[in-house]
Amino acid sequence: MYFYMVIGEESTLFFINIKSIHSTSNTRKEENFKEEASHDSINRIARIIRPGLTK
């Protein structure tokens, strides 16, 4: 499961892997794996979520 967040005017998009956070195979505590998407993907998804946000 992935969550998509559009933050600020620059529409920074983060992919948070929930399965990795709640993985029981890891002996460590919670870990957030965040990957910053490419600028094209950010603009494309931002247009889907909030039309008119990007030019």
Tens-digit pLDDT profile for residues 16-36: 444 444 445 544 444 444 444
Give me the mean pLDDT over the 45-52 stretch. Answer: 59
Please give the residue that has the higher pLDDT: either 43 or 52.
43
Give me the mean pLDDT over the 12-17 stretch. Answer: 47
d(CA 50, CA 2): 18
pLDDT-derived band at 11 (thresholds 50, 70, 90) equals very low
Domain boundaries, the chain: 2-49
